[in-house]
């Protein structure tokens, strides 16, 4: 069934022109970019779906707040406003701003983790995993098996596999598990939500074994919306109530505010009530991020963040936001274009393995589709598949990813229904000529994180 497009709960006051290049110009640009979309200049992109992080549009209130930046070194008005707002929303006593999500991880992870320790998460986001490993510990993912089935509906594919969690704790020894991490929504599983029931169960297990529970809170508001609309007993609760309950189950959170708090830069650490832990967080924040009352941000950024936190949990905004994703997904359903189902909160993961079955994993179907979308309509997405996964570090052989996705992440409050139609129409046009689309081979690659900088060429 086709989803109705939920009209924007805002009107547009300021516009940012975007360019449409001709088909021939796009062919030239992508060739010059070595068929790697990260090399494209953003001004050569018509619809940019590379990330939903820091790419949202701020409101009039936020921009007005920027003008009220108090740039004092210590104790600014904006810091106090931010702390008070975050205390109210999350119900936590201590709030520490930082410059983005990974900065929060850099501050927090070494407090809990060291060599010999483990962190267990429903799924670690890549920077979270990196900071677990930088602290000398090991990261274990423990998501429910439904997350791996792209075709079948399940309302909370982001959940922790709690049975397996208990087994892992018993196997490695509770004293060796430094942290249990709940990522909401589960980014790496495709923006899939975690249920309140699963939060509660996970927190009971954590308590029983005396292991701290940390929320990776980048998309906490989208997660709360999914709980409200999908979980029994929460239909009549407000987003605020749901957020308060979710956070009541954890001891601390790290947050990239570049997602649900709709700012272009910013992050937070929250601590429920442990004063000793707050002291440790402050001691790490000062050398890494700057004094506690600015944490790597300007006063004006703190103000925009305080306002964005409130706008991000507004029900009408969230209904429109998730409504956009559902509208796009319903257009793909009509056309039989496969994606990770149901669609997540911030991105749609097109199943390139099923759309381009003639391209083997070592010729990168997810990347081929991403290039094709740029050629077709100037849309920029990215591969989340074997191209991103890379080579086995021991043998140097190409690894095969579980999935071959092209990820289209949708910035907040930026694109309109007509833009979403351009995306759907481009995918439909590509589906019609899918047989003729060729795979790619790498002509140059660095040793690690190759997808950002590798060079490719089409296989003739």
Residue ranges that bind ligand PLP, judged by CB under 6 A = 53, 100-102, 125, 127-128, 183, 187, 216, 218, 256, 258-259, 267
Residue 389 CA to residue 163 CA, distance in Å, equals 28
> Is 73 annotated in the active site?
yes
Residue (224 or 355) nearer to ligand PLP, CB: 224
Residue 76 CA to residue 350 CA, distance in Å, equals 45
> Is 451 annotated in the active site?
yes
What 3-state class would DSSP assign to 306?
Answer: helix
Q: What DSSP assignment string belongs to 15-70?
A: --------HHHHHHHHHHTTT-GGGS-GGG-SEE-S-SSS-PPPPHHHHHHHTT--
Residue (9 or 54) nearer to ligand PLP, CB: 54
> Is 351 annotated in the active site?
no
> Among residues 96, 72, 86, 99, which one has the least CA distance to residue 289?
99
What's the closest the beta carbon of residue 101 comes to ligand PLP, in angstroms?
A: 2
> Among residues 416, 412, 403, 395, which one has the least CA distance to residue 361?
403
What's the closest the beta carbon of residue 223 comes to ligand PLP, in angstroms?
A: 11
**Which position among 218, 221, 224, 329 bears the catalytic label?**
218
Residue 410 CA to residue 346 CA, distance in Å, equals 6
**Which position among 81, 117, 272, 451 bears the catalytic label?**
451
Residue 311 CA to residue 313 CA, distance in Å, equals 6
**Which position among 126, 149, 273, 392 bears the catalytic label?**
126
What's the closest the beta carbon of residue 287 comes to ligand PLP, in angstroms?
A: 18
What's the closest the beta carbon of residue 340 comes to ligand PLP, in angstroms?
A: 16
| Chain CA centroid to CA 389, Å | 18
What's the closest the beta carbon of residue 361 comes to ligand PLP, in angstroms?
A: 25
What's the closest the beta carbon of residue 15 comes to ligand PLP, in angstroms?
A: 27
**Which position among 44, 48, 141, 216 bears the catalytic label?**
216
Residue (195 or 254) nearer to ligand PLP, CB: 254
> Is 94 annotated in the active site?
no
> Is 216 annotated in the active site?
yes
Residue 4 CA to residue 322 CA, distance in Å, equals 12
Tokens of 76: 């600014």
Torsion sign over Cα 165, 166, 172, 177? positive
What's the closest the beta carbon of residue 90 comes to ligand PLP, in angstroms?
A: 16
**Which position among 73, 84, 151, 452 bears the catalytic label?**
73
Position of minimal CB gap to ligand PLP? 101
Residue (222 or 372) nearer to ligand PLP, CB: 222
Which residues lie below 8 Å from residue 14, measured CB to CB, with a gap of 6+? none
Tokens of 420: 């979403």
Residue (216 or 363) nearer to ligand PLP, CB: 216
Tokens of 98: 């930082």
Residue (259 or 353) nearer to ligand PLP, CB: 259
Residue (48 or 363) nearer to ligand PLP, CB: 48
**E strand residue ranges, 324-439:** 347-351, 379-380, 382-384, 405-409
Q: Hey, which residues does 2 pair with through a beta bridge? A: none
**Which position among 125, 234, 278, 440 bears the catalytic label?**
125
Residue 259 CA to residue 217 CA, distance in Å, equals 9
The catalytic residue positions are 73, 125-126, 216, 218, 259, 451
């Amino acid at each position: 069934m086709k989803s109705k497009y939920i009209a924007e709960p805002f009107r547009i006051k300021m516009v940012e022109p975007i360019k449409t290049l001709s088909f021939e110009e796009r062919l030239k640009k992508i060739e010059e970019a070595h068929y790697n979309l990260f090399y494209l200049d953003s001004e050569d992109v018509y619809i940019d779906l590379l990330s939903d992080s820091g790419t949202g549009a701020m409101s009039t209130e936020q921009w007005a707040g920027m003008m009220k930046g108090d740039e004092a070194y210590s104790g600014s008005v904006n810091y106090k406003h931010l702390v008070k707002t975050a205390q109210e929303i999350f119900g936590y006593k201590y709030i520490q701003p930082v410059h983005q999500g990974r900065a929060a991880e850099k501050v927090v992870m070494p407090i809990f983790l060291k060599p010999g320790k483990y962190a267990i998460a429903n799924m670690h986001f890549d920077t979270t995993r990196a900071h677990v490993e930088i602290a000398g510990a090991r990261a274990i993912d423990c998501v429910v098996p439904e997350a791996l089935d792209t075709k079948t509906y399940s309302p909370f594919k982001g959940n922790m596999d709690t049975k397996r969690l208990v087994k892992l704790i018993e196997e490695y020894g509770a004293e060796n598990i430094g942290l249990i991490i709940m990522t909401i929504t589960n980014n790496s599983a495709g923006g899939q939500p975690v249920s309140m029931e699963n939060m509660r169960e996970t927190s009971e297990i954590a308590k029983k074994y005396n292991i701290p529970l940390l929320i990776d809170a980048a998309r906490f508001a989208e997660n709360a919306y999914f709980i409200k609309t999908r979980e029994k007993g929460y239909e009549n609760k407000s987003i605020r109530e749901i957020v308060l309950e979710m956070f009541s189950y954890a001891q601390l959170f790290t947050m990239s505010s570049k997602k649900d708090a709709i700012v272009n830069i910013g992050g937070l650490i929250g601590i429920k009530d442990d004063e000793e832990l707050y002291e440790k967080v402050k001691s790490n924040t000062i050398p890494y991020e700057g004094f506690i009352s600015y944490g790597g941000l300007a006063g004006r950024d703190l103000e925009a963040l305080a306002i964005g936190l409130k706008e991000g949990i507004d029900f009408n905004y969230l209904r429109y936001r998730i409504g956009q994703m559902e509208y796009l997904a319903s257009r793909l359903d009509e056309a039989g274009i496969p994606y990770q189902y149901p669609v997540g909160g911030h991105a749609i993961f097109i199943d390139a393995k099923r759309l381009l079955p003639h391209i083997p994993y070592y010729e990168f179907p997810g990347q081929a589709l991403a290039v094709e979308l740029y050629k077709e309509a100037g849309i920029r997405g990215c591969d989340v598949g074997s191209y991103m996964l890379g080579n086995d570090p021991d043998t140097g052989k190409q690894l095969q990813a579980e999935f071959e996705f092209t990820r289209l992440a949708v910035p907040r409050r930026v694109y309109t229904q007509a833009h979403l139609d351009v995306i759907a129409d481009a995918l439909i046009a590509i589906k019609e000529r899918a047989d003729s689309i060729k795979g790619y081979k790498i002509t140059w690659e660095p040793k690690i994180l190759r997808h950002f900088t590798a060079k490719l060429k089409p296989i003739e």
